[in-house]
Amino acid sequence: MSNIIGKIHSFESFGTVDGPGVRFVVFLQGCVLKCKYCHNPDSWGFDDNKITQTPQELIKEVLKYKSFIQKGGVTISGGEPLLQAEFVYEFFKLCQEEGLHTALDTSGFIFNDEAKKALEVTDLVLLDIKSINPTTYKNLTGVELENTLKMVQYLSSIKKPMWVRHVLIDGWTDNDKDLTELADFLTTLDSVEKVEILPYHRLGEFKWEQLGIEYEFKGMLPPSEERVQNAKDIFKSKGIAL
């Protein structure tokens, strides 16, 4: 029995947007990024978790839904799940023993030996690249881009399947030059299966208000259909699947 304890923010038992098929999604607590548009700012504080479980306790919960997620799998998101890389490793091992597909949704900022170990039992990485422009990335997240790029290149070197996710924000991440640079960078990699363009939304704005944190993007609208299509066309023009 593992004595590793996971700090968990919440669960979603029938997720359809975090990897292939219907999935059990675990949101872990804690994040070092402070993204200006984060829809889970209540997941930032590492000790603010609502749930604590061992990997064995969590797999028991997941297996209640096994018949529904058998063709999908399990996704760990956050927060930043690799802050708890040891827990991810132990839990994903149990998932794979049960024949469940494992996906990890990460910013790539935590890139160390523990993270690499967790990636060994990860079938698919959902990697968020907020911007390929280092200045924009720092302004959006509060941290440097460098580690994320190192992780992407490592994932490519070990041929680990990944879906790259990019949130499209008017005036921030919809710049044609940056989108083209990101697309060109992705074409140099070996294991990018597709790119997901995720239009900015305001669904988490109320949480910022509840926490008493100023929401800098207050009043920001989602990108137009034209700008979303423009971004998609840039990636398609480079031969990247969406």
User: What is the arithmetic mean of pLDDT over 97-118?
Assistant: 98
Q: How confident is the model at residue 2 (pLDDT cuts 50, 70, 90)?
A: low
* Percent of the chain predicted with pLDDT > 90: 95
117-121: long-range contacts at Cβ-Cβ below 8 A with a sequence spacing of 24 or more?
117/85, 117/86, 117/89, 118/82, 118/85, 118/86, 118/88, 118/89, 118/92, 119/155, 119/158, 119/160, 120/89, 121/89, 121/92, 121/93, 121/95, 121/96
| Of residues 11, 44, 43, the one with CA closest to residue 26 | 11
Report how far residue 181's alpha carbon sits from residue 136's, in angstroms, rounded to the nearest whole number: 13
Q: How confident is the model at residue 203 (pLDDT cuts 50, 70, 90)?
A: confident
Q: What is the pLDDT of residues 109-167, one digit of tens each?
A: 999 999 999 999 999 999 999 999 999 999 999 999 999 999 999 999 999 999 999 99
User: What is the arithmetic mean of pLDDT over 216-241?
Assistant: 96
User: Structural domain boundaries of the chain?
Assistant: 6-237
The domain defined by 6-237 folds into TIM Barrel (3.20.20)
Torsion of CA 171, 175, 178, 180, to 10 degrees: 160
User: Do residues 131 and 173 touch, judged by C-beta distance below 8 A?
Assistant: yes
Q: What is the pLDDT of residues 159-174, one digit of tens each?
A: 999 999 999 999 999 9
Q: What is the pLDDT of residues 6-19, one digit of tens each?
A: 999 999 999 999 99
Q: How confident is the model at residue 204 (pLDDT cuts 50, 70, 90)?
A: confident
User: What is the arithmetic mean of pLDDT over 201-223?
Assistant: 92
pTM of the model: 0.96
Q: How confident is the model at residue 210 (pLDDT cuts 50, 70, 90)?
A: very high
